[in-house]
Chain A
């Protein structure tokens, strides 16, 4: 297919080869295997074959480390962090942008990493919960969450902390009401909200560099 020269076409596309492979030997080889197994196997193989030809080059920086990657366009930023870069601090909660467990910073702005494709972040700087502490020294927001018991099960905590840091940096931590409003994108099913608010207020009023 032809594209206008202006269109930045990610490398590695070869539709005719992909189609050819999908339609040929893989299916023939599986002819004598029972039906459901064939279906499962061909789906998986199709995926693998297709993925090999559909990957897009991606450069980004995560917690100060530069990465040159090759990813499928449908990989979300969340899955890239967890599955490809083994940064499992960022959590998958709902995976639909409703809970905030996946909150990371992209170029300093907090976002839901589950709702964007990794390829859309070419050249961007990502900060995850793993990038907040300096060596063994916890970030002031992490310290405050520990001090105020800002969690019970802890699953939402990485997202809460990333969101809380951004909330203070944005200047949206001026009052309890403002904190509650600007932290509403992070759900805590244990209900540690009052302690989370206390932690954020302490950091806001503490005057440390956040």
Chain B
């Protein structure tokens, strides 16, 4: 691993300045992804700005919303009473990710900023436009069974690995950031981006911008929710594909719906058209199947991931069915 300078500011502005003014500086929080990437030589920061002493770990149960600090641990959020009562989908998604040890280290902000686990991104001997812009995409014609079926470009077909983010995009969360130009709020759906011609950029954060919190608005989704994750072993693996489903059901009629997929695109993939189809319909298998069909429109498979074209709708139906019967 390359050597680096280490600083541990106690003030937020000092941390932001330290990263904003130094092109080779980066924030570190839980480190579960960054340390991994540094050991492999994929990330080579010259300076680490440790933000763990900043007071950003609180979970505030405000009227109308939960404000979750960027440094709140994944395990703390998943076990938080207010989160479990008001946003059970988020708690489920968090517990579906990583392991108990990693959730004790990983922060909410860091979870959103984790890099893809595309094996070409991780292999320094292979081309990867995300790791080394202009070098090409190894996955396009390579082993692409884990890769995207929506929103990809000819520069990158990697997927975003976060489970938590799939729930947050479904729940209309907002990301609060603070940077050299002040503070701003980013709707979760606009936080991550599609690869286009610049897959090296995962998000719309600017240099030096620090995530301070995530706001999750209260909604009617406290009961009929389910996070369905499909992976190659029972636990502790990244998703082949996942679905976050949240329903509001009265007298067997769907009053409101939120639906998003993970493991299918460069960003957590919100399924707005399928949500619209669900509203006003009876909560039946037939309705769920129709929604799944709509959700999959425009999906396109590569050589090794055609199974996702079938797995996708089946997982959507299973997630909706389980959500509807949760009580």
A interface residues, Cβ below 8 angstroms from B? 3-4, 6-10, 13, 50, 54, 56, 72-74, 76, 95-97, 100, 103, 109-112, 114-117, 119-120, 122, 163, 166-167, 170, 172, 180-186
B311 on the A face (CB < 8 A): no
B10 on the A face (CB < 8 A): yes
Contact of B104 with A111 in the complex, beta carbons under 8 Å: yes
The interface on chain B, measured as residues whose beta carbon lies within 8 A of the other chain's beta carbons, has a size of 38
- Take A8-B8, A115-B35 as given contacts and tell me if A110 and B100 are in contact as well, using a CB distance cutoff of 8 Å: yes
Residue of B nearest to A4 (CB): B14
How far is B9's CA from A74's CA once the two chains are assembled, in angstroms?
18
B7 on the A face (CB < 8 A): yes
Report chain A residues within 8 Å CB of B140.
none
Contact of A4 with B17 in the complex, beta carbons under 8 Å: yes
Residue of A nearest to B6 (CB): A73
Contact of A109 with B104 in the complex, beta carbons under 8 Å: yes
Report chain B residues within 8 Å CB of A185.
98-102, 236
Contact of A54 with B36 in the complex, beta carbons under 8 Å: no
Q: Tell me the chain B residues, 10-68 only, with Cβ under 8 Å from chain A.
A: 10-11, 13-14, 17-18, 28, 30-32, 35-36, 38-40, 48, 50, 52
Q: How far is the CB of A98 from chain B (nearest CB, A)?
A: 8
Closest 5 CB pairs of A and B: A185-B99, A184-B235, A73-B6, A6-B14, A184-B236
The contact of A115 among B11, B31, B52, by CB within 8 Å, is B31
Q: Tell me the chain B residues, 51-90 only, with Cβ under 8 Å from chain A.
A: 52, 75
The contact of B3 among A4, A72, A100, A120, by CB within 8 Å, is A72
How far is B48's CA from A112's CA once the two chains are assembled, in angstroms?
20
Contact of B100 with A182 in the complex, beta carbons under 8 Å: yes
Q: How far is the CB of A122 from chain B (nearest CB, A)?
A: 8
Residue of B nearest to A75 (CB): B1
How far is B28's CA from A3's CA once the two chains are assembled, in angstroms?
18
Contact of A111 with B105 in the complex, beta carbons under 8 Å: yes
Contact of A120 with B52 in the complex, beta carbons under 8 Å: yes
The contact of B100 among A95, A97, A116, A163, by CB within 8 Å, is A163
Report chain A residues within 8 Å CB of B99.
100, 184-186
Q: How far is the CB of A61 from chain B (nearest CB, A)?
A: 18
Known A73-B6, A74-B38; 13 more pairs at CB < 8 Å: A6-B13, A7-B18, A54-B5, A74-B2, A96-B40, A100-B101, A109-B75, A112-B32, A115-B31, A115-B102, A120-B28, A120-B31, A186-B99
Contact of A73 with B105 in the complex, beta carbons under 8 Å: no
Q: How far is the CB of B148 from chain A (nearest CB, A)?
A: 23
B234 on the A face (CB < 8 A): yes
Q: How far is the CB of A39 from chain B (nearest CB, A)?
A: 17
Q: How far is the CB of A193 from chain B (nearest CB, A)?
A: 11
The contact of B35 among A4, A116, A180, A184, by CB within 8 Å, is A116
Q: How far is the CB of B203 from chain A (nearest CB, A)?
A: 22
Q: Please, could you name 28 A-B residue pairs with CB atoms under 8 Å apart, sorted by A?
A: A4-B14, A6-B9, A6-B13, A7-B8, A7-B14, A8-B8, A13-B5, A73-B3, A73-B6, A95-B39, A97-B35, A97-B36, A100-B99, A109-B75, A111-B101, A112-B32, A112-B102, A112-B105, A114-B35, A115-B32, A115-B36, A116-B32, A117-B28, A117-B48, A120-B52, A167-B100, A170-B100, A185-B101
Residue of A nearest to B98 (CB): A185
How far is B35's CA from A54's CA once the two chains are assembled, in angstroms?
18
How far is B9's CA from A182's CA once the two chains are assembled, in angstroms?
34
Report chain A residues within 8 Å CB of B307.
none
How far is B75's CA from A172's CA once the two chains are assembled, in angstroms?
12
Contact of A3 with B7 in the complex, beta carbons under 8 Å: yes
Report chain B residues within 8 Å CB of A110.
100-101, 104
Output the residue of A3, A13, A73, A163 with the most chain B CB within 10 A.
A73
- Take A97-B102, A110-B101, A180-B234 as given contacts and tell me if A6 and B35 are in contact as well, using a CB distance cutoff of 8 Å: no
Report chain A residues within 8 Å CB of B11.
6
Residue of A nearest to B76 (CB): A109
Contact of B7 with A181 in the complex, beta carbons under 8 Å: no
How far is B115's CA from A185's CA once the two chains are assembled, in angstroms?
20
How far is B3's CA from A8's CA once the two chains are assembled, in angstroms?
18
Report chain B residues within 8 Å CB of A184.
99-100, 234-236
Contact of B234 with A7 in the complex, beta carbons under 8 Å: no
How far is B105's CA from A100's CA once the two chains are assembled, in angstroms?
13
